[in-house]
């Protein structure tokens, strides 16, 4: 009776019980309906892709965690770690002729080989959107508003929304001509709010690129960008001289300001301007944002997104693109931790109990006609006695039991037992569907 370990579930994956699937499908329905109201339509792409799709523009962290394999033709394939690159691949291959804006959403599973921990699995689900065409602040603001509506619709409360512009940090790196590795290292310090704590490390990186006189002004700017209190006004006031020389930095500040203003029109409240938002993927170029839940631990992020550019990867002309992804499992976990999980659905309307062998075929007939009337109905398939059948009907939460004995059947009636109140009554078979709640 002991199973081989190899017949267990693979590490870091999950099986989903009926109750859990009902909650997940209900949450999915909310997300679909919300995207739908915003004029988005669903697309889907394959579960595996050519490896190259993810090794070019994704962050190093993603690439190290790929489930990579060769198919029998020797091609390098990988289970998808995220869905933006696949959806954009599909767009550039087949959808470029569609009218813009093109509003696409997806809901699919992704895979990362990482150590399993609370809320992090090797197979996980993402719901996300891609808005292709516009490059306006309205596009960025509406994307934030949609993410907000999706999370609120799922029932998440007390979320922290941080909105920034990746162009602020990128223009610093560009002005200094920094190499990728140094840039990533420096940005990681800003992202973790560690520039002040690890000042020597940050100074050493900057010293490789900036003339010695300007190292300290850059360092001061980066230290401030990575603080909770940094706003455009304050940073501009404190670092005017450095910023004045960087038109791209100034433009990033302007676009972010306009976007934040439009968020008010879109009824998104309580967001926080955050000039130190970095995002894990290299392809972001403009406004970026993250939602964090108070109901998760240190890994509090449930959604992230922004304005990005993936056109170069496909050898295509740039096209405006803005999107986000919600960590579906993490969002559900936050909901559960907050005690706000969607309720499981009701049990079936009736359990049909044939009494004695001759009633069996008739019970199947009655069951079939009730199902045809749209009712959720089940019937004894185990040839159990009435008392065991009633136990079972109660155990699965059936609303009624319908007892069919030979004598009743001769008279064209059945006994209907209300399993909550225990009340019993005779009902004509012709009236049975209505008595059990079928809509006429």
Instruction: State in angstroms the smallest separation of the CB of 344 from a copy of itself.
Output: 10
Question: Can residue 25 be called a binding residue for a copy of itself (CB under 8 A)?
Answer: yes
Cβ proximity to a copy of itself, 6 vs 423, nearer residue: 6
Query: Pick from 73, 277, 75: which is nearest to 168 by CA?
Result: 277
Q: How far is CA 428 from the centre of its chain?
A: 49
Question: Binder to a copy of itself among 26, 63, 67, 435 (CB under 8 A)?
Answer: 67
Question: Can residue 211 be called a binding residue for a copy of itself (CB under 8 A)?
Answer: no
Question: Can residue 130 be called a binding residue for a copy of itself (CB under 8 A)?
Answer: no
Binding mask 143-182 for a copy of itself (x = CB under 8 A): --x---x---------------------------------
User: 173-180: which pairs have CB atoms within 8 A and are 24 or more residues apart?
Assistant: 174/248, 175/245, 175/246, 175/249, 176/206, 176/209, 176/210, 176/218, 177/209, 178/205, 178/209
β-strands 284-292, 160-165 pairing: antiparallel
Binding mask 224-263 for a copy of itself (x = CB under 8 A): -------------------------------------xx-
Question: Can residue 77 be called a binding residue for a copy of itself (CB under 8 A)?
Answer: yes
Question: Can residue 115 be called a binding residue for a copy of itself (CB under 8 A)?
Answer: no
Q: Which of residues 330-359 bind a copy of itself (CB under 8 A)?
A: 348
Question: Can residue 13 be called a binding residue for a copy of itself (CB under 8 A)?
Answer: yes
Distance CA 296, CA 287 (A): 25
Within 299-437, strands assigned E span 301-308, 320-327, 350-355, 377-379, 400-405, 413-418, 424-428
State both tokens at 2: 């002991």
Q: Which of residues 387-406 bind a copy of itself (CB under 8 A)?
A: 392, 395-396
**Inter-residue contact 340 to 315 (CB < 8 Å):** no
Question: Can residue 412 be called a binding residue for a copy of itself (CB under 8 A)?
Answer: no
Cα–Cα distance list, 314 to 59, 87, 90, 297, 378 (Å): 17, 12, 10, 38, 53
Question: Can residue 381 be called a binding residue for a copy of itself (CB under 8 A)?
Answer: yes
Q: Which of residues 296-325 bind a copy of itself (CB under 8 A)?
A: 313-317
**Inter-residue contact 350 to 402 (CB < 8 Å):** yes
Question: Binder to a copy of itself among 175, 338, 364, 435 (CB under 8 A)?
Answer: 364
């Amino acid at each position: 009776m002991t199973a081989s370990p190899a017949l267990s579930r693979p590490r870091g994956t999950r099986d989903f019980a009926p109750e859990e699937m009902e909650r997940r499908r209900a949450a999915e329905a909310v997300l679909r309906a919300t995207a739908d109201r915003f004029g988005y339509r669903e697309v889907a792409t394959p579960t595996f892709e050519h490896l190259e799709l993810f090794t070019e523009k994704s962050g190093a962290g993603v690439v190290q965690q790929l489930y990579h394999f060769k198919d029998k033709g020797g091609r390098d394939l990988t289970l998808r770690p995220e869905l933006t690159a696949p959806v954009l691949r599909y767009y550039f291959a087949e959808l470029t002729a569609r009218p813009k804006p093109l509003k696409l959403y997806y809901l699919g599973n992704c895979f990362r080989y990482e150590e399993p921990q609370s809320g992090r699995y090797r197979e996980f689900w993402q719901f996300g959107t891609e808005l292709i065409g516009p490059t306006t602040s309205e596009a960025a603001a509406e994307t934030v508003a949609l993410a907000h509506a999706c999370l609120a619709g799922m029932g998440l409360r007390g979320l922290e929304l941080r909105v920034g512009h990746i162009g602020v940090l990128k223009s610093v790196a560009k002005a200094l001509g920094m190499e990728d590795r140094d840039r990533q290292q420096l940005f990681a310090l800003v992202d973790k709010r560690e520039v002040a704590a690890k000042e020597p490390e940050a100074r050493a990186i900057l010293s490789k690129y900036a003339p010695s006189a300007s190292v300290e002004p850059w360092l001061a700017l980066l230290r401030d960008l990575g603080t909770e209190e940094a706003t455009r006004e304050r940073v501009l006031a404190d670092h005017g001289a450095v910023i004045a020389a960087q038109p791209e930095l100034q433009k990033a500040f302007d676009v972010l300001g306009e976007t934040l203003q439009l968020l008010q029109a879109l009824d998104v409240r309580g967001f926080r301007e955050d000039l130190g938002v970095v995002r894990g993927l290299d392809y972001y170029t403009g406004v970026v944002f993250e939602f964090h839940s108070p109901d998760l631990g240190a890994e509090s992020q449930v959604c992230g997104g922004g304005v990005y550019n993936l056109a170069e990867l496909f050898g295509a002309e740039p096209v405006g693109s803005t999107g986000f992804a919600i960590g579906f499992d993490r969002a559900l976990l936050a909901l559960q931790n907050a005690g706000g999980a969607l309720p499981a659905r009701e049990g079936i309307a009736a359990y049909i109990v044939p009494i004695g062998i001759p009633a069996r075929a008739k019970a199947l007939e009655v069951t079939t006609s009730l199902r045809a009337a749209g009712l959720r109905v089940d019937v004894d398939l185990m040839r159990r006695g009435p008392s065991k059948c009633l136990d079972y009907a109660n155990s699965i939460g059936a609303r009624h039991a319908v007892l069919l004995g030979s004598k009743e059947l001769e008279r064209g009636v059945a006994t209907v037992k209300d399993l909550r109140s225990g009340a019993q009554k005779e009902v004509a078979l012709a009236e049975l569907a209505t008595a059990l709640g079928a809509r006429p």
